Structure 1
Amino acid sequence: METELAAQVQRYLDAYVYENARFLAERLVAQRPSEENVLLLATCYYRNGQAARASAVLSGATRPDNRYLLACCCFQQGQLVEAENALLGGENCHVDDAETVENIPAGAAGLFLLGKVCRRGNRRQQAVACFVKR
């Protein structure tokens, strides 16, 4: 049942029928609140223009995909510190730490988002480092 419901949510997302996807994703998370299912629900909220709701659902996320979407939501809301923490994996990590930057979720997209966070926070050198990182 869970697999079928998750597949149906994904089909609705792919077909841009976000309200139906959201409804089913809410049922799915109510039935089984795993990080995979929470990601589906947060994706529905995000695509519906509800970044704040998506952030609330994703708070405390540990999976890389969830952390990346959380960072996108935070960035969209102007919450730069929270976006950076989501990308770097916590408050004790810094963009200058090479090992931390290697583990950014979503690869190049995550680095690009981190660069945008740094640029918006007037940290030009760190932004450039993120944009040119390979």
Structure 2
Amino acid sequence: MIVQEPVQAAIWHCLNHYDYADAVFLSERLYAEVKTDESLFLLATAYFRSGKRDNAYHTLKDRHGVSSQCRYLFGICAYELEKSKYGEAEAALLEDSQSENSFDTVTNEFGDQASFALLLLGKIAAKTGEMPGPQRLGKKP
């Protein structure tokens, strides 16, 4: 059994000092032992920062809905991979924001990351030429 906190600290230390290979190795081992939102986020972050955006995307694809950090990172991965994934990026960011006040919901849900989540939604809108929001997700205004 892995003691989670020291391993997480070691992973962040590797990431902060650009030792991505060790960060990926340690985060893969941690996630194999402890399947939490935190360890999932660390694994996807290690993949993303090491340039393995496909791995980060596929790691989060079916499991991104739990934490706002994972959903935001999945949104970034989907946005950066290809045009056909813009809808997935938007859906991940607006997953729980299908109300008319989705701006307020996103702001409350993402906390410190809210401005970045909203910026990503704006980038998606600029690329697709459509306004993000509940209408795109099948909810009527």
Query: What TM-score bracket applies, with the shorter chain setting the length?
Result: 0.7 to 0.9
TM-score with structure 1 setting the length: 0.83
User: How many correspondences in the alignment?
Assistant: 124
- 1:132 matched residue in structure 2: none
Q: Is the CA contact 2:94–2:102 (under 8 Å) kept in the aligned structure 1?
A: no
Gaps of 5+ in 2: 133-141
Summarize deviations over 1:78-133 as a string: whole Å, max 9, x none: 2100000111016x83788444444463211110000001110012xx37xxxxxx
2:128 to 112, 117, 121: 121
1:74 to 61, 67, 78: 78
- RMSD (CA atoms): 2.1
Would you say 1:28 and 2:30 are equivalent positions?
A: yes
Q: Is the CA contact 1:26–1:41 (under 8 Å) kept in the aligned structure 2?
A: yes
TM-score with structure 2 setting the length: 0.79
2:89 to 83, 90, 95: 83
What is the identity percentage for the equivalent residue pairs of Structure 1 and Structure 2? 31
Gaps of 5+ in 1: 128-134
| Counterpart-to-counterpart distance in 1, 2:100 and 2:70 | 19
Change (3 A) 1:67 1:95: farther
